[in-house]
Chain A
Amino acid sequence: MALPPAHQSALSPHGAEAAGILDLTGVLVVGGAVVFLVVLVLVALALRAPRPRLARHWLVVAGGVVFPAVTLAALLAYSFAKDTRLPLVGRPDLAIELVGHQWWWQVRYLDANGALDFITANEIRIPAGAIVEVRLRSADVLHSFWVPALAGKLDLIPGRENRLRISAEAPGTFRGQCAEYCGGPHALMALFVVAEDSARFESWRESQRRPQAAAASGRGVALFGEHCASCHTVRGTPAAGERGPDLTHFASRISVGAGILPNDTASVARWVASGQHVKPGNLMPEFDALDAGGLEAVVAYLGSLR
Chain B
Amino acid sequence: MSALPNPGPRPPGELEELKRIWAFPKRWRILTEYNNTFIGALYVATAFVFFLLAGVLGLVIRMQLAVPENDLVRPELYNQIFTMHGTVMMFLFAVPAVEAMGVLMLPNMLGARDLPFPRLSAYAYWAYLVGGLVFFCSIFAGLAPTGGWFMNPPLTSARYSPGLNEDMWLLGIGFIEISAIAGAVEIIVGVLRTRAPGMTLGRMPVFAWAMLTFAAMVVFAFPAVILATTLLELERAFTWPFFDATFGGDPLLWQHLFWFFGHPEVYIIFLPAAGMVSMMVPTMVRTPLVGYRLVVLALVATGFLSFGLWVHHMFTTGIPRLSLGFFAAASMAVSVPAGIQVFAWIATLSARRPRLTTPSLFVLGFLFIFVLGGLTGVMLAAVPFDFQAHDTYFVVAHLHYVLVGGMVFPLFGAIYYWIPALSRNALSERVGRWVFGLMFVGFNVAFFPMHITGLAGMPRRVHTYAAGYGWDMLNLVSTVGAFMFAAGVALFVVDFARRFRPAGGKAGNVWGAGTLEWLPSGPYSNRSIPIVDSHQPLWDDPELARNVEEGHYYLPGAPTGGREALVTAPLDGKPQYILRMPRPDWTPFVAAVFTAAFFLLLTGKFVVPAAACGVVAIGAMLAWAWALDPAPVAPVDIGGGITVPTYMSGPQSTSWWAVVVLMMVAASMYGAAVFSYLYLWTVAPRTWPDAASLPSLWYPVAAGALVVLASAAFSAAGRALKAGRRGWLMAALASAVVLLVAGVGVEIAAHHALSPRASGYAAMVHLFGAIAGFFAVVCALLTLFCIVRAASGQVDAVRRVTFDNARLFVHYTVAQTLLGLLLVHGFPRMVG
Contacts and interface: CB of A to CB of B under 8 A. Distances in A.
Interface string A12-39: 0000011011001100110010011001
Given A28-B379, A32-B375, A158-B154, A148 B457 contact: yes
A153 B388 contact: yes
Contacts of B578: none
B160 A140 contact: yes
A152 B324 CA distance: 15
Question: Which 10 A-B pairs have CB atoms at the shortest separation, nearest pair first?
Answer: A152-B387, A159-B245, A187-B462, A64-B340, A79-B382, A63-B343, A162-B318, A55-B351, A8-B457, A54-B350
A55 B375 contact: no
Given A10-B457, A159-B245, A181-B461, A63 B346 contact: yes
A228 interface: no
Contact of B79 (A11, A45, A184): A184
Contact of B350 (A51, A57, A67): A51
B332 A21 contact: no
A159 B75 contact: no
Interface string B329-349: 100110111011111101111
B251 A64 contact: no
Nearest to B353: A50
A60 B378 CA distance: 19
Interface in B586-620: none
Interface of B: 74-76, 79, 146-148, 152, 154-155, 160-161, 245-246, 250-252, 287, 290-291, 294, 298, 316-318, 320-321, 324-325, 328-329, 332-333, 335-337, 339-344, 346-354, 356, 364, 367-368, 371-372, 375-376, 378-379, 381-392, 452, 455-457, 459-466, 468-470, 683
Nearest to A87: B321
Given A46-B354, A64-B298, A64-B342, A180 B382 contact: no
Contacts, number: 266
Contact of B470 (A9, A64, A80): A9
A281 B382 contact: no
A141 B385 contact: no
Contacts of B342: 39, 63-64
B390 A181 contact: no
A46 B350 contact: yes
A29 B191 CA distance: 41
Contact of A181 (B155, B372, B388): B155
B346 A46 contact: yes
Interface residues of A, number: 89
A69 interface: yes
Contacts of B160: 102, 140-141, 183
Contacts of B337: 64
A84 B324 CA distance: 13
A57 B344 CA distance: 8
A185 B75 contact: yes
Contacts of B351: 50, 52, 55
B378 A181 contact: no
Nearest to A176: B457
Given A9-B456, A10-B455, A180-B391, A152 B75 contact: no
A295 interface: no
Contacts of A144: 316, 391
A216 interface: no
B462 A24 contact: no
Contacts of B368: 40
Contact of B347 (A54, A76, A154, A155): A54
A75 interface: yes
A52 B291 CA distance: 14
Contacts of B392: 179
A150 B290 CA distance: 49
Contacts of B386: 152
B347 A56 contact: yes
